[in-house]
A and B are shown apart, each in its own frame.
Chain A
Amino acid sequence: MNATDIGNGNIMNQRTRRDGQTSRRTLLRGVGVAMTLPWMESLPVWGSDDSQSVAAPKRIATLFMANGINPLHWTAQGSGSEMQLGKCLEPFEPLKAKINVISGLYNQASLGVGIHPGQTGNLLSGVSLKKGSELGGGISMDQVIANHVGQETIQSSLVLGCEQPVTGYHETNFSMAYSSHISWQNETSPVPMETYPALAFDSLFENHGSARNRSIIDRIQEDARGLSRRLSSSDQAKLDEYIASVREVELRTERMRKASQKAIDNAKDRGRPLFTMDRPDNGLPEDIREHMRLMCDIIAMAFQTDNTRITTLMLNNDISGLIYPFLGIRYGHHGASHRDQSDEYLRIVQYHCSQAAYLADKLQSMPEGDSNVLDNSLVMFISNMWSGSKHESSRVPVVQIGSLGGSLETGRVLDYTDKGDDNRRLCSMYLSIMERMGVKLDRFGDADTPLADL
Chain B
Amino acid sequence: MPPPDAVQPTREARAELLDWSRFLREYEAKRNAGDPGPVLARRLNGAEYNHTIRDLTGVDIRPARHFPVDPANQEGFDNSGESLTMTPGLLMKYFDAARMVSEYLVLKPDGLDFAPHPVVVDTDRDKYGVRRIVDFYEVQNTDYSDYFYAAWRLRQLGGSDNPPTALGAVAEDVGVSQKYLGTVWSLLSGSQHHDGPIATLRSMWLALPDGNDRLDQVRSGCEEMSAFVERLRPRLSHSFDHLSHAGINNGTQPFVLWRNRQYAAQRRSLNRDALHVAQSNPVVEPDGETDDDEMERLLTIPADQEVQSRHVAALREFCDIFPDAFFVKSRGRDYKGLEKQGAQLADEAAVRLLSAGFHSQMGFFRDDAPLYDPMLDASEQRRLDTLWHDLDFVADVSRRQHQGYIWYERGESRFLTDPEFDFARGEDEDITSESKIKRLADVYLAKAQRTGASDQVLEAIRQHFLQVSSKIRRIELARLSAERTSPVQRGYWVVRQLLGERIPPPPPDVPELPQDESKLGELSLVRILAVHREHQNCAGCHNRFDALGVALEEFGPIGEFREVDLGGRNIEARAQMPDGIERYGVAGLQSYIREHRQQEFVDNACRKLLSYALGRTLIVADDVALEAMRRQPERSNHGMVDLIETVVTSPPFLNQRGRSYRYEELAE
Listed in ascending order, the chain A residues whose CB lies under 8 Å from chain B are 8-12, 15, 131-135, 162-171, 173, 175-177, 181, 185, 188-190, 192, 195-196, 210, 260, 263, 268-279, 281-284, 288, 291, 319-323, 325, 330-335
Contacts and interface: CB of A to CB of B under 8 A. Distances in A.
B121 A321 contact: no
Interface string B93-114: 0011001100100000000000
Given A173-B349, A278-B435, A323-B410, A271 B569 contact: yes
A277 B126 contact: no
B115 to A, nearest CB: 13
Contacts of A335: 411-412, 414, 417
Given A163-B426, A195-B427, A332 B567 contact: no
A43 B207 CA distance: 100
Interface stretch (B305-313, B352-360, B491-499): B352-360
A180 to B, nearest CB: 9
Contact of A320 (B335, B411, B417): B411
Contacts of A8: 66
A11 B569 contact: no
B383 interface: no
Nearest to B433: A275
A321 B93 CA distance: 41
27 contacts: A9-B66, A164-B426, A165-B122, A167-B123, A168-B404, A171-B360, A173-B349, A177-B121, A177-B122, A177-B123, A189-B118, A192-B120, A195-B427, A263-B430, A268-B568, A273-B476, A273-B480, A275-B434, A278-B423, A278-B436, A321-B408, A321-B410, A321-B412, A323-B411, A323-B422, A331-B414, A335-B411
Given A275-B435, A278-B430, A320-B411, A166 B403 contact: yes
B362 interface: yes
B132 to A, nearest CB: 15
A279 B428 contact: yes
Given A169-B355, A170-B360, A320-B411, 18 more contacts: A10-B96, A165-B122, A167-B126, A167-B400, A168-B361, A169-B362, A176-B360, A177-B121, A188-B118, A189-B103, A268-B566, A271-B518, A271-B567, A272-B568, A276-B435, A277-B430, A330-B419, A334-B412
Interface centre among A167, A176, A270 (most CB of B within 10 A): A167
Nearest to A334: B411
A87 to B, nearest CB: 25
A165 B121 contact: yes
A279 B424 CA distance: 10
B350 interface: yes
Contacts of B564: 268-269
Contacts of A173: 349-350
B124 A164 contact: no
Interface in B411-458: 411-412, 414, 417-419, 422-423, 425-430, 433-436
B51 interface: no
A189 to B, nearest CB: 5
B547 interface: no
A260 B335 CA distance: 38
Interface range, B side: 35 or more
Contact of B352 (A9, A169, A263, A272): A169
Contact of A166 (B95, B126, B361, B473): B361
A333 B411 contact: yes
Contacts of A168: 358-363, 404
B408 to A, nearest CB: 7
A66 to B, nearest CB: 11
Contacts of A325: 419, 422
Nearest to B407: A321
A12 B100 contact: yes
Contact of A321 (B122, B350, B406, B473): B406
A273 B477 contact: yes
A72 B122 CA distance: 38
A11 B353 contact: no
A332 B427 CA distance: 14
Contacts of A175: 123
A196 B406 CA distance: 18
Contacts of A185: 120
Contact of B96 (A12, A279, A334): A12
B122 to A, nearest CB: 5
Contacts of B479: 273
A281 B429 CA distance: 9
Interface in B384-417: 400, 403-404, 406-408, 410-412, 414, 417
Contacts of A167: 122-123, 126, 362, 400, 404
Contact of B121 (A190, A195, A279): A190
Nearest to B421: A323
A368 to B, nearest CB: 29
A185 B407 CA distance: 26
Contacts of A272: 568
Interface in B554-571: 561, 564, 566-569
B607 interface: no
B127 interface: yes
Contacts of A164: 403, 407, 426-427
B359 A171 contact: yes
Contacts of B123: 133, 135, 167, 175, 177
A166 B407 contact: yes
Given A167-B362, A189-B124, A321-B410, A284 B567 contact: no
Given A169-B360, A260-B429, A332 B411 contact: yes
B490 interface: no
A133 B352 contact: yes
B333 interface: yes
Which 9 A-B pairs rank lowest in CB-CB distance, beginning with the nearest? A271-B568, A321-B411, A332-B411, A275-B434, A282-B430, A321-B407, A168-B362, A282-B429, A167-B362
A209 B411 CA distance: 38
Contacts of B407: 164, 166, 321
Interface centre among A8, A163, A196 (most CB of B within 10 A): A163
A267 to B, nearest CB: 8
